[in-house]
Amino acid sequence: MNVRSSDLAAYVLLALPVLAGLLLWGALPDRMAIHFGTSGAPDNYVARPLGVVLAPGVGLFAVLVTRYAPDWLSRTYTAPQVERATVVFVAGVVAYVQGFVLAWNLGYRADPTLLAVAPVLVAAGAFAVYTYARGGASA
């Protein structure tokens, strides 16, 4: 398998929060909050092992599907640079959100809307502008 630099970057981004979770294992609660309602209060908890690997595992699955799914699963045929950017973007968003989950479970309280949703929307907007500017958008 030819591992591209974008793939390597994505895998590193997904591995870092898992490594952080393992290093901070003793400080994390037995039941970790992984989802937060609109009020900012957690509304879904899982066991610590699942809380450490769930989001990065979903991110890894998304990266693998983005990279290796058959072409017929997509309605568009994107340029290789868009695919590479998508792989790194997906991994980056998942790593960022997992970092927030770890921080919240370690006692650092912040508004999930501000810390999780706003940067994701800004990054998604920047990605959309980049894709459109590179000619990746078609009618």
Average pLDDT across the chain, whole number: 83
Residue range 10-30, pLDDT digits in tens: 999 999 999 999 999 999 999
pLDDT at 4: 78
How many domains does the chain divide into? 1
Using the predicted structure, report yes or no on whether residue 77 has a pLDDT greater than 70: no
| Residue 138 within any structural domain of the chain | no
Average pLDDT over residues 76-102: 81
Extract the tokens encoding 69.
């799914």
pLDDT at 87: 85
Give DSSP secondary structure letters for 46-105. Answer: EEHHHHHHHHHHHHHHHHHHHHHS-GGG-SS---HHHHHHHHHHHHHHHHHHHHHHHHHH
Using the predicted structure, report yes or no on whether residue 128 has a pLDDT greater than 80: yes
Q: Which domain holds residue 80?
A: 5-133
Average pLDDT over residues 125-132: 82
